Structure 1
Amino acid sequence: MATCSSQTLALQRNSCKQNSFMEKLMTKIFNFYDEQSLIDVTFKVSNPTALVPAHRLILAAASPYFENLFNGNQGTNPVIEINDIDSDIFEHLITFCYTGEASITVNNVAAVLNAAIVLQLDDAITSSVDYLITHIDEYTLQGAYTLERETQCEVLRQKIIEYETQNFMEISRSDEFLNFYVEKLQRILVSDNLNITREEDAYDAIQRWYNYDVPARQENLPLLIACLRLTQFNVDFLITHIQPLPGCELLVFKALSWIGVPTARPMINIRFTEPRGVGATNCGEKTILALCSQNPKLLQYNKTEDKWQEYASIKIDYELYRTVLEDDNLLFIGGYKNCTTLNVVRSWNIRNKTWQNFPVMIQARRAHCVVELDDKIYAIGGCEDRALSSVERYTTSDGWKFVNSLIVGRDNASAVTLNNKIYVMGGYNSCRGQLKQLKSIECYNPNSNTWTSCADMTKCHILPGVAAHKGHIYVLGRGDEYSHVCVERYDPQQNTWSQICSLDVDPGYIACVLLDNKLWAIGGQSESAGKSCVSVFDEENFCWVERCLLPERKVCNCFVVPETLLFSM
């Protein structure tokens, strides 16, 4: 008799022979099953009663359940009764033992999973869970939660956690989220792959869960706050929002000490000190979409190959619109067509590349600012026949409503959010028929519905690239320079501006985004190549590092999105 090692050696001598041998062997086994030839066991299954023939050797090799059954006292019986599995489901899983495939549907996936657990068919369990997660919209998330509780299936539990991690923003707004038990929420929040745009998103979700039942959840609140990357918050945010929470004072003290006293860090016991994404797996990877206005199109950045490729063309017949990312949709807000300023709002779905109309704004606008804050969309300033100071806000419940106006009307400005506030900077203001360039910056507090003036920038900037990063606001624009991009940084705590190293490219349209916790500048022209430049700020060496040029000259805006959102291309 050949030993296991001698069989393996013989088959490994020629992989082609091995593949051919295995193919012939499996074909013969399938034929035996289809023809019910050489059958040595029959199962009598109930509901409805049916006889299911099979081969002991195949089933024993596929599952320890059958191996133990056939080696037990009743294992030699020619007919074995199965009473706790429906006959059609049992037959599907017997077929799986031969083929590795089962007929799984939304209607039977729960029964197949339950039976696969009983029969210890690990591969069938995995197939069932994968099918369920793939069809979660049809099966419903609530149904998946119920099935996981009933089966206590670890594979399903892990897959649900992965799904919740990747779709956290959507799930955190659901009613099911309010009833998550604290251990489950902890498992999600600690993940490096948590799919959020900013750490404040996780904080907001905790607050929503906590406020649903404050008396019962107060004791567990510090456990969840400890899952946040506290050292990534601004000092003001820590003091204003987190320190007042019951039981969180020590956590905030440690985070403030870590931020303020770097030399003391080795002595500070704090759970997370790095931002999310450090050491994360590919399932949570994000990339950049660049919206280019020349023959409007979206370009996708491939980080692995450091190159850009077209994701989609966008058919739009007007200009001077502004865009904002809302979940899986790009909102095109306002614009200009045939000498007319527009109040139109249209939504373009990134996943399926289709348009939908949105409620129109109250005020027609072009060359304005748009930002999203706390699930609300703000349209700020811009111009119609003059620079506008009006600001309106969109919510799904109330539509567009005016809020307090800017102190100074402006168009071609830029805006960014930081610490639950909106900052608007630069642009033009019409003054006695003249366009006045602005250095000024204003801050909007949605809680008090007020705008306040902040310290002026060191230079005037028209439509600069802006981004919030590590508690500061970065502004990239031309200023009064014509040979390079000026970069300055605002400290909201000190209300001061400072210049940092310039970007050595010809000024032009430029966007600024955060990817992998680094500041990316996309735009500014390479005159020799006739393309837009792409650079990443190296904070350690205080310099800009060039990446692959963008194959288009005019960049309207850039967005950071999960790579999984673009799989359909």
Structure 2
Amino acid sequence: MKQDQDNCDFIIQAGHDIYYTHKNVLSAGCDYFEAMLKYDTKESREGKVVFKDVDSECVKNCIDFIYSGEIEIPNEKMNDLLYAAIMMQLEDVKQAVSDILKRSITVENYFSTRKVADIYGLDAVSTRCRVFFSKNLMKISMQPGFGNIEKTDILNFVKSEKSGLYEEAKLTLSLRWVENNRKNEEHLHKCLEVIKFDKMSPAFLEHLLESNLIISNDFGLYKLFNGHLLKASKRLGKAKGEIDNRDFIILFDADTDCIRSLDPIAEKVEKFHDEKFKHLRDFGTISLDSYIYVPCENKSVHRLDCRSKNSKWEKMKDMICDHGEFPRSVSWSGLIFVIGGSCHKATNDVETFTYSLNQWSQLQNKPTAICDASLVSLDDSIYCIGGIGQDGVEVSSFCRFIPFSAEWVDLEPMRYPVSDMGVVAVDQKIFVLGGCSGGIEVNYVSCYDVISAQWTSLSSMIACRSFVSAHHMGNWIYAVAYGKVSNVIEKYDFSKDKWIIVKPEVDQCFTIYESTFVKL
């Protein structure tokens, strides 16, 4: 292409830019120009064509392709280039852009890529998008645009027996689709009609009844789910070898390699399960849907079904990232999230586990690296509190992660830096118990009111404790720390703002290695 007028007989104008070209070259290399210049058209007579609303750089790229057969495709202007190529009927350029789009589909750009494919009729890209969608459905459901998925696409996956999704995953997807776009609420009943509730566990249904706002705010939905919960509980009660339906604090006995349970009502500790755990090195614990999950330092993950005394540890897919010893995890909306690092290994990695698919997915990183922070979920958010920064110093930071948008929001920090503390959410309040501050164990207790966005101080625990697990059961908050069972458990009385040492009835003294809460 010439940039001056020597021997040029045709001008192409795009915006304020003018390109000098040759009619014979344009006609030979482009059907669009051949048709324009072959006949007595206005453009042919005037020796000029003006492109309006077309990116000038992309017009230049297309002209360069006509002359050289080569083209530069800038990632940030693929859509504009595609528009220019289709207008000029440059099928080779259109195909080149299409090939790049097919190779470049990610969870983050899925919706924009699919939109481009639909607008410009890129059938091959649309097909690749459908395949990608089916393989990455749970990850895509975490993206902001998920609520704009057509109802027919959601219904097809919910109905499909070939999708490989458990019924819990199908229900989770349907609810996320509505949560992302409330206009879809009128179509939710269509999904619920084909979902097989009889294949779901009562723990999963109870979790939804307690935590999902769409269900709790709709009396009809709440009644429907409660009915399915009652039926599931009856089915479970008929199974053999099942553990009684109660709330337990599970204690990992480091002395005997035994899993024990604390009944908070009877304040009695007894053997809970026969499975050993010491082969699982340096692990954290999280309970979800009647299972105990243990993410380990070596990235392996195992789970134990708490409903049966005969169950065995089940090896799950390994985590993607290295979160150090005792990975910090939290459950939210039927998923497990692991955020940051632990034991002085600060990272900003965030990943989530979909148990129904046995699949880990890496999410957008946390803005700042952290280790030994505490995590708690409440409503539509996960809260990350305190910890140790990359410089090895404890921090008072407090931030909120919104899984649906992958957005991090900084909140009012705590009044003191702290790490390795217990944290639990009760109603619309977050309680922070003990931990390490300034390198020493503390017994401070703080409460954050989500509604007023303010921190207040409560009565301190009786003993200074770190590596605390916090559990809400009935009218009490229980704090369970690492150490001898006789002196590491306290409970908090809300009405009296008072802590009480719990000395449970035990058949022998033992050392608590880890603890978690299980609701059966």
* TM norm structure 2: 0.52
Partner Cα distance (1:286, 1:195) in 2: 16
Give yes or no for contact 1:425–1:440 (8 Å, CA) kept in 2: yes
Displacement after TM superposition at 1:348 (Å): 2.1
Letter in 1 for 2:322: A
User: 1:416 Cα deviation (Å)?
Assistant: 0.6
Whether the aligned pair in 2 keeps the contact of 1:299 and 1:310 (CA below 8 Å) is yes
C-alpha displacement at 1:484, in angstroms?
A: 5.3
User: Partner of 1:331 in structure 2?
Assistant: 293
Partner of residue 345 from structure 1, selected from 297, 301, 311: 301
**Paired residue for 2:425?**
468
Task: Return the match for 1:373 from 332, 348, 352.
Answer: 332
2:316 is aligned with 1:358: yes
Equivalent residues of 2:287, 2:516 under 8 A apart? no
Equivalent residue for 2:347? 388
Q: Distance in 2 between matches of 1:402 and 1:171?
A: 21
Once the two structures are TM-superposed, the CA of residue 418 in structure 1 deviates from its matched residue by 0.6
Query: In the TM superposition, what whole-angstrom CA distance separates every residue of 1:40-79 from its partner, at most 9, and x where no partner exists?
Result: xxxxxxxxxxxxxxxxxxxxxxxxxxxxxxxxxxxxxxxx
C-alpha contact 1:413 1:428 (8 A) present in aligned 2: yes
Aligned to 2:497: 542
| Structure-2 separation of matches of 1:393 and 1:311 | 28
For the 8 Å contact 1:507–1:525, the answer to whether it is kept is: no
Number of aligned positions between the proteins: 310
Task: Please report how far the alpha carbon of residue 452 of structure 1 lies from its aligned counterpart in structure 2 after TM superposition.
Answer: 1.5
Shift of residue 421, structure 1, vs aligned partner: 0.6
Q: 1:385 to 1:470 in 2, by over 3 A?
A: closer
Which residue in the other structure is 1:196 paired with?
206
Q: Which residue matches 1:128?
A: none
Distance 1:400-1:535 versus aligned 2 partners, 3 A rule: same
Residue in 2 that maps onto 1:444:
401
Distance 1:552 1:416, change over 3 A: farther
**Structure 2 Cα separation of the partners of residues 344 and 413 of structure 1:** 21
User: Are the equivalent residues in 2 in contact too, given 1:292–1:557 (CA < 8 A)?
Assistant: no
Quote the Cα distance in structure 2 between the aligned partners of 1:468 and 1:198: 16
User: What code does the residue aligned with 1:400 have?
Assistant: W
* Residues 466 and 512, structure 1, Cα contact 8 Å, conserved in 2: yes
Change (3 A) 1:470 1:228: farther
Q: Which residue number corresponds to residue 262 of structure 1?
A: none
Question: Structure 2 residue aligned with 1:416, among 370, 373, 376?
Answer: 376
- State the alpha-carbon separation in 1 of the partners of residues 204 and 403 from structure 2: 27
TM-aligned CA distance change 1:483 to 1:466, over 3 Å = closer
Question: How many Å separate the matches in 2 of 1:383 and 1:522?
Answer: 19
Residue identity in the other structure for 1:413? A
User: 3-state SS of the aligned residue for 2:408?
Assistant: strand
Query: Structure 2 residue aligned with 1:407, among 360, 364, 367?
Result: 367
Q: Find the aligned partners of 2:225 and 2:345 in 1 and give their Cα distance.
A: 45
The Cα shift of 1:524 comes to 6.6
Query: Which whole-Å deviations, capped at 9, do the CAs of 1:372-430 have from their partners, x for residues lacking one?
Result: 21122211111599411110112244822211211221122210101121011122223
Specify the SS of the correspondent of 1:503. Answer: coil
Q: Distance in 2 between matches of 1:329 and 1:518?
A: 23
Q: How many Å separate the matches in 2 of 1:382 and 1:399?
A: 20
Maintained 8 Å contact 1:379/1:391: yes
Q: Deviations 1:240-299 (Å, cap 9, x if unpaired)?
A: xxxxxxxxxxxxxxxxxxxxxxxxxxxxxxxxxxxxxxxxxx986423222344554322
Secondary structure of 1:196 counterpart: helix
The residue type paired with residue 376 of structure 1 is: L
- Letter of the 2:261 partner, please give it: Q
Counterpart residue number, 1:457? 414
Matches of 1:414 and 1:516, distance apart in 2: 22
**What is the DSSP-based 3-state SS (H/G/I as helix, E as strand, rest coil) of the residue aligned with 2:431?**
strand
Distance 2:190 2:312 in 1: 29
Name the amino acid aligned to 1:541: K
Amino acid at match of 1:409: A
SS for the counterpart of 1:289 is strand
Asked whether 1:305 is paired with 2:261, we answer no
Matches within 5 A, 1:41-440: 178-179=192-193, 196-197=206-207, 199-201=209-211, 203=213, 205=215, 221-224=218-221, 285-303=246-264, 305-312=266-273, 313-335=275-297, 342-350=298-306, 351=308, 352-366=310-324, 367-382=326-341, 386-395=345-354, 396-397=356-357, 399-431=359-391, 435-440=392-397
Aligned residue type for 1:363: C
Contact 1:506 1:524 in 2 (8 A): no
Over the residues paired in the alignment, what is the CA RMSD in angstroms? 4.0
Cα separation, partners in 2 of 1:486 and 1:517, compared to 1, 3 Å: same
Identity rate, percent: 18
User: How many Å separate the matches in 2 of 1:384 and 1:531?
Assistant: 26
Residue 91 of structure 2 corresponds to which residue in structure 1?
A: none
**Residue 322 of structure 1: SS of its match in structure 2?**
coil
Q: 1:447 to 1:490 in 2, by over 3 A?
A: same
Contact 1:364 1:384 in 2 (8 A): no
Contact 1:513 1:521 in 2 (8 A): yes
Deviation track 1:348-390 (CA, whole Å, cap 9, x = no partner) reads 2222330221111111222331112112221111159941111
1:223–1:405: structure 2 CA closer, same or farther, 3 Å change rule?
same
The residue type paired with residue 334 of structure 2 is: D
Decide whether aligned partners of structure 1 residues 201 and 455 sit closer, same or farther in structure 2, where only a CA change above 3 A counts. Answer: closer
Deviations 1:213-238, CA, capped at 9 Å, x for gaps: xxxxxxxx544569999xxxxxxxxx
Cα pair distance change 1:177/1:557, threshold 3 Å: farther
1:203 to partner: Cα distance: 4.3
Query: Which secondary structure does the structure 2 equivalent of 1:497 belong to?
Result: strand
Shift of 1:328: 2.7
SS in 1 for 2:448: strand
TM-score (norm 1): 0.48
Equivalent residue number for residue 85 of structure 2: none
The alpha-carbon distance between structure 1 residues 194 and 318, as it changes in their structure 2 partners (threshold 3 A), is closer
